[in-house]
Chains A and B, each alone.
Chain A
């Protein structure tokens, strides 16, 4: 799975060793700052920071290329803004991109790319189970029980999704293949093909959910309180990083 977007890459860098709560908090702060940035030069600073952090994580810049599957989405965002933002037309034509649109499109696209990259940096330096443990610890003080859910349940849902989303995709692929082998015209008519695929996938996933619930129950899952294999402990380094991130964010936002 190495080299894929959002997949964990084992390592022993400073970033790998940071507490997940600090990393989640830092990504949230960076996301706010990226959204607040209104000039490409500001975004260039975040891009350089990302390059620095990637080198620090020891992942190598090849990881940046992992965003390639999202390229069509980036192009779409850029084109939409380029063509549908009011301003001075670039060509003498009825349907032409505008100068303002190009600028806005570049800004929005770069923001989006940076958000994805920083998210990817978080997941590539933190084991999925540690991220869920971190989120659970962040959510624990919140009065979630009042809305009928616990932080442990949310964390369990996330862990389950990490296994079941790829498994369901595999399952859907199996059903699609079996339908194609029995003469389904999925390729000729993707809409009706998708509908005929959706019902068995839904039925299968319901059955699977039932089985998983039974397996979880037989392993004493209650949802009220659990401990974790990955014990989270804030070190002086974590506190320092957190303070620096908080300070810089406050400075940029309110200075």
Chain B
């Protein structure tokens, strides 16, 4: 569990990026953090594994304070983080060497490292590329390697920082599938994105605006609120809300995509 209590963060240049944030992320949940560029999403999640220390307030991970130097390595082992640019998180020449980087830092025996590397690579479906040079991989494959690198450390909580923003649509859906699978297997997921469609799969959506929490709730609540305020929501949701307002479909319906909305309007036989 991650808990942020009254967290504010001011960069050394005086720019206040987070303002009095209270968030509690439960074990096994799937939380999406939505927000425009510069809203403080990346700064917020970097507090969750101790890469940044709050200027005010407390961040605790499974009861450990991220400001405590004694707990920092345990915290980073518990909270794995995958970053946006797949090229800027590679540290090995080949896939298996890169995936092994984390377990090597944990000073594990080579047999244990090998086991973890094999499992992590299988989890992201890169078995046939184990020995491939990272330079020869596509963006999607590199991002899967980065996810495997984090999985090899067997973290309880996974944070994904706009991991699909540099990928094509196929790679994007593959990465989202992997993230959803990991959550189904019990990992706590915090998923940062500015693509609204990617927030639909979450249990909870938090919208950040200029460093404060603008909305927090289930995807249905949050997207309803966004729609009500006159801002853009994914086209199929906008249509669903309009149909709900007109009483043409049930107000409980929350279609994940256009196909499920179509099923709701005219079910196939």
- Contact B131 A10, beta carbon cutoff 8 Å: yes
Instruction: Tell me the bound Cα distance from A86 to B135 in angstroms.
Output: 48
- Contact B76 A227, beta carbon cutoff 8 Å: no
- Contact A229 B93, beta carbon cutoff 8 Å: no
Known: A129-B97, A163-B90, A227-B104. A219 touches B76 (CB 8 A): yes
Which residues from A are CB-within-8-Å of B170?
Answer: none
A88-103 interface with B by 8 A CB criterion: none
Which residues from A are CB-within-8-Å of B93?
Answer: 128-129, 159, 162-163
> Can you list 6 residue pairs at the A/B interface with Cβ under 8 Å?
A128-B97, A170-B135, A216-B101, A218-B76, A227-B107, A229-B100
Instruction: Tell me the bound Cα distance from A212 to B107 in angstroms.
Output: 20
- Contact A227 B108, beta carbon cutoff 8 Å: yes
- Contact B87 A129, beta carbon cutoff 8 Å: no
- Contact B91 A160, beta carbon cutoff 8 Å: yes
Of all chain A residues, the one with the shortest Cβ separation from B105 is: A220
- Seen from chain B, the residues whose Cβ lies within 8 Å of a Cβ on chain A are 46, 49, 51, 73, 76-77, 80-81, 83, 85, 87-94, 96-97, 100-110, 113-114, 117, 131, 133-136, 146, 149-150, 153
- Contact A229 B88, beta carbon cutoff 8 Å: no
A214 an interface residue at 8 Å Cβ cutoff? yes
- Contact A219 B92, beta carbon cutoff 8 Å: no
Instruction: Tell me the bound Cα distance from A225 to B108 in angstroms.
Output: 11
- Contact B105 A221, beta carbon cutoff 8 Å: yes
Q: A163-B91, A220-B73, A227-B110 are in contact. List 9 more A-B contacts (CB 8 A).
A: A128-B93, A129-B94, A160-B91, A167-B90, A211-B85, A211-B88, A212-B90, A225-B107, A227-B108
Known: A159-B97, A219-B150. A208 touches B49 (CB 8 A): no
Instruction: Tell me the bound Cα distance from A219 to B101 in angstroms.
Output: 8
- Contact B51 A217, beta carbon cutoff 8 Å: yes
Q: How many A-B residue pairs have CB under 8 A?
A: 102
State how many angstroms separate the Cβ of A253 from the closest Cβ of chain B: 36
Interface residues on A, range: 20 to 34
Residue interface mask A2-35, B partner, CB < 8 A = 1: 0000000010000000000000000000000000
- Contact B91 A212, beta carbon cutoff 8 Å: yes
- Contact A219 B102, beta carbon cutoff 8 Å: yes
- Contact A229 B49, beta carbon cutoff 8 Å: no
Which residues from A are CB-within-8-Å of B81?
Answer: 218
- Contact A216 B91, beta carbon cutoff 8 Å: yes
Which residues from B are CB-within-8-Å of A225?
Answer: 107
Which residues from B are CB-within-8-Å of A216?
Answer: 91, 101
- Contact A167 B87, beta carbon cutoff 8 Å: yes
Instruction: Tell me the bound Cα distance from A222 to B100 in angstroms.
Output: 15
Which residues from B are CB-within-8-Å of A231?
Answer: 110
Which residues from B are CB-within-8-Å of A251?
Answer: none
A230 an interface residue at 8 Å Cβ cutoff? yes
Known: A212-B88, A229-B97, A229-B114. A167 touches B135 (CB 8 A): yes
State how many angstroms separate the Cβ of B112 from the closest Cβ of chain A: 9
State how many angstroms separate the Cβ of B184 from the closest Cβ of chain A: 24
Which residues from A are CB-within-8-Å of B92?
Answer: 129, 159, 162-163
Which of A128, A208, A217, A218: most chain B CB closer than 10 A? Answer: A218
Instruction: Tell me the bound Cα distance from A190 to B92 in angstroms.
Output: 33
Instruction: Tell me the bound Cα distance from A225 to B153 in angstroms.
Output: 16
Which residues from B are CB-within-8-Å of A212?
Answer: 88-91
Of all chain A residues, the one with the shortest Cβ separation from B108 is: A227
